[in-house]
Amino acid sequence: MTIEQLRARLVELNETGKAIQAKADAEKRDLTTEEQTEVDQIFAEFEDVENDIKRRERLAAQDERLGESRGRVVPPIEPVNQEVVVERSAESRGGLMNARLRTQEERARWGFRDFGEFCASVRGAVLTPSNTDPRLITNAAATTYGAEGTGADGGFAVPPEWRDAIMKQVDAEDSLLSQTDKQPVSGNTITFPVDETTAWQTTGGILAFWDSEAQAMAQSKPLLKDLTAKLHRLTVLVPVTDELLEDNAAMGSYVSGKAGEKMDFKITDAIINGTGAGMPLGVLNSPALVTVTKETSQTAATFHADNAAKMMARLQAKSFARSTWLINQDVLPFILKLGFAITKADGTAAGAGPMYLPPNGLANSSAYGSLLGRPIQVTEACQTVGTAGDVILADLTKYLSVVKAGGVRSLTSIHLWFDQNLTAFKFIIRMNGQPWLSAPIARKSGSNTLSHFVVTQTR
């Protein structure tokens, strides 16, 4: 394994350990014997991998010192938090010759100034393999096409700094993924034990009973079921021309910006509309969704105060403080004018009160204002006005999203369209998601069911 692969393994081990601890914390318990054993094994492997990295770094540093005396091209790895020293020999062929990358930032970029310079180096390796930038050779990642040391036979992995940049954009403020109950996973599948019983349930699951002195206590047992999530793959493949690669600034902006933007919306759309087949299960297709009946003789393609009030009444009470109104932008003209009538005890009118508050109204900081005290978020993933799903009252913390540890993987290949002078940039994230509930919540008193996700039927 390479040093970069070993570092990736450290990240994977760390995420796995955190996931085990997070599960125990969520269930308010200590680690089981099996979990503690697994965590101990993670600690042991983490230490072994760290030692392996240190050994390889020392060997690389020794190799560098030997290479300096003969003018060899050997990019070494030196201690962190020191200044970057770059030395170029007279025989340098456009890349770094004997470059010392001594800061974490420089090592994260492999010595490249920005993403554009990295892309230009990949192009140079395609056009003139004999003049391949040594930074690419040192950090090449093997693909199914051949060995990692030869540019024409292998792929070049995008430096970690830009991988992080993509993930941050996917997790941007307006992204629904960042608002869900996100669980990292190191494997391909994860299973969660789920308890869907309610506190007021009288049969099934753990129960409480009133009894008297000397009376034998009634027994009950947990009622759990499995929720299994298998990861699906979301990809972006971007072929880029040589002309575009020549413009460093445009290249970095185009690839990083567009890939993150497309993946962001695709995930948001799946959280709302996903079918569950090869993609996450969206809230609109979930059996846990509650649909409120429209008003009698309600005009088509409208949204009224009564719709909003009845939706709020069907949201589980514990979700009030965490809920958000997800709306299609075409619904805004209706929401901006929403209010409710105020009547006296005798039924006579006494004025009207607002349901909608604009941004900064009563210290409301939501960009689109609030409705019934909860923030509004506009998204193109919602359905058109008048269709069920144009307005969704959602507690997204009750939506489970499972993401492969490490987030977005970014790779480049010079082989797919080699004869057309194109380089392929590939971005991959593996994930899945679905609401925690498998059905609406039955009430103790009352016939209306509750849920974490509520809509009004098509109008």
CA–CA dist 313, 443 (Å, integer): 12
pLDDT tier, 386 (very low <50, low <70, confident <90, very high otherwise): very high
Among 28-37, 416-425, 426-435, the least confident range: 416-425
Q: Residue 289's domain spans which residues?
A: 280-401+436-456
* pLDDT band, residue 390 (cuts 50/70/90): very high
Within a domain: residue 444? yes
Assigned domain for 38 exists: no
pTM exceeds cut of 0.75: no
Q: How far apart are CA 19 and CA 181, in angstroms?
A: 12
Q: Rounded to whole angstroms, how far apart are CA atoms 227 and 139?
A: 40
Residue 90 domain flag: no
**How many distinct structural domains can be found in the chain?**
1
Q: Helix or strand or coil: residue 85?
A: strand
Most confident of 22-31, 50-59, 241-250, 351-360: 50-59
Spatial CB neighbours of 260, under 8 Å, sequence gap ≥ 6: 165, 166, 168, 169, 170, 172
pLDDT value, residue 82: 38
**pLDDT (tens digit, 9 = 90+) per residue, 319-366?**
999 999 999 999 999 998 888 776 666 666 655 667 877 776 555 556
The answer to the question of residue 45 being in a domain is no
Asked whether the predicted pLDDT for residue 49 surpasses 50, the reply is yes
Rounded mean pLDDT of 270-292?
96
pLDDT at 170: 61
Query: What per-residue confidence (pLDDT) applies to 417?
Result: 66
C-alpha 176/C-alpha 258 separation (Å) is 18
* Domain membership flag for residue 53: no
Tell whether 209 is covered by a domain.
Answer: no
Where are the extended beta strands (E) located within 355-458? Answer: 356-357, 370-371, 374-378, 391-394, 399-404, 409-413, 422-435, 453-456
409-413 vs 391-394, strand pairing mode? unpaired
Least confident of 145-159, 326-340, 378-392, 434-448: 145-159
What's the confidence (pLDDT) of residue 134? Answer: 74
Question: Would you say residue 191 has pLDDT above 70?
Answer: yes
Q: Can you tell me the distance from the alpha carbon of 126 to that of 128, in angstroms, rounded to the nearest whole number?
A: 6
Other beta carbons within 10 angstroms of residue 294's beta carbon come to 21
Local confidence band at 80 (pLDDT 50, 70, 90 cut-offs)? very low
Contacts of 305 (CB under 8 A, 6+ apart): 338, 339, 340, 355
Predicted confidence band of residue 93 (pLDDT cuts 50, 70, 90): very low
Q: What is the pLDDT of residue 397?
A: 95
* CA gap 202, 221 in Å, rounded: 12
Q: Which of 49, 80, 74 is nearest to 62 (CA)?
A: 74
Q: Which of 73-87, 202-216, 280-294, 402-416 has the highest mean pLDDT?
A: 280-294
- Using CA atoms, how far apart are residues 41 and 44, in angstroms rounded to an integer? 5
**Residue 128 counted as domain residue:** no
What pLDDT is attached to residue 300? 95
**Cα four-point dihedral sign 29, 33, 38, 43:** positive
Record the tokens describing residue 364, joined without a space: 């409301």
CA–CA gap between residue 136 and residue 94 (Å, rounded)? 12
- Residues 181 and 399: beta-carbon distance below 8 Å: yes
More confident of the two residues 335 and 76: 335
Tens of pLDDT, residue by residue over 127-166, are 677 777 777 766 655 444 443 344 444 445 556 566 666 6
Has residue 375 been placed in a domain? yes
